[in-house]
Structures are given as structure tokens and as C-alpha cells.
Structure 1
Amino acid sequence: MKNKWEVLHDCDDDNGNPTTYFLKVGENMFYWLVLVDNGMFDVIDCDCYTVLMTCKNLASAKRWVAINLL
């Protein structure tokens, strides 16, 4: 089964581009992918605070989560 990442549109940039994605992994538990200033993506843990990894693009961030956390 593929993981279903969702866009959190409340965090879109001024041009309407998505900057934050989330994946539900349990009851009230989510992993987050957040675009940072340099165009890279931070992988944020379920505590909504801890940066687990910074990846060079969205695809590599999703892949890192799939390999290391699921």
C-alpha cells in the first residue's frame, strides 16, 4: 500500500504553492515535510518539532520517510 501524503494548504506560500505535507501514521500522529528557505525539505517527527533529516527535494524526503520510518 502506498503512503498518502496530503498538502496542508493553510501553509501555502503567497503564490499558492504548497510548502507543507503530512502523512498520518497513527491516531493523532503525523510526519511532516516542510519546505525550507534553501529549497530543501525538512522531515519533521510526530512531535511536530524534531527535524529528523533535511533532504534535497520533496521526492527524496518522501523516500527517506518510507525507508527509515515506515
Structure 2
Amino acid sequence: MEGAAQMALPILGIVAAAAVTFYAVSFSELREKSFNELEDPEETESGGGFRSSASSRERRAKRKAEKEARK
């Protein structure tokens, strides 16, 4: 029984470290995503939710046209 306990302790430590890392990365990605949403007011005006690739193409074209107009 003592041998099993000696094997279980390092395995539990590795599993715990993996869980902590997973949650830390997940929370940092959520925080980054929320900050990006705050920084880009144009995205919040679109109503949020799912954005198709066509809308991102439209935004890219609009930015390009604005850049060209400034030149």
C-alpha cells in the first residue's frame, strides 16, 4: 500500500498543476477577449454574437478605403 501512495502523490501533483495551468490560461484568454471587446466599439454596435467572415471583410475594406482617402 505504501508503494501505491508513493506513486499516487506525484501523479496527483502533476494533475493538479495541469488543472491550475488550464484554468489560468482560460481566464487570461477570457480577460483578453473582454478587453478587446471594450477597445473595439464598432464590434459592439453590430449587436454582438456571431460575426460572419463577410462582416470582417467589410470592416477590412472600410478601413482600407479610409486609409486611401487620407492619402
Q: TM-score scaled by structure 1? A: 0.26
Higher strand share: 1
The structure having more radius of gyration, on CA atoms, is: 2
Q: Could you say which structure has the greater relative contact order, defined with CA pairs below 8 angstroms and 6 or more residues apart? A: 1
Q: TM-score scaled by structure 2? A: 0.26
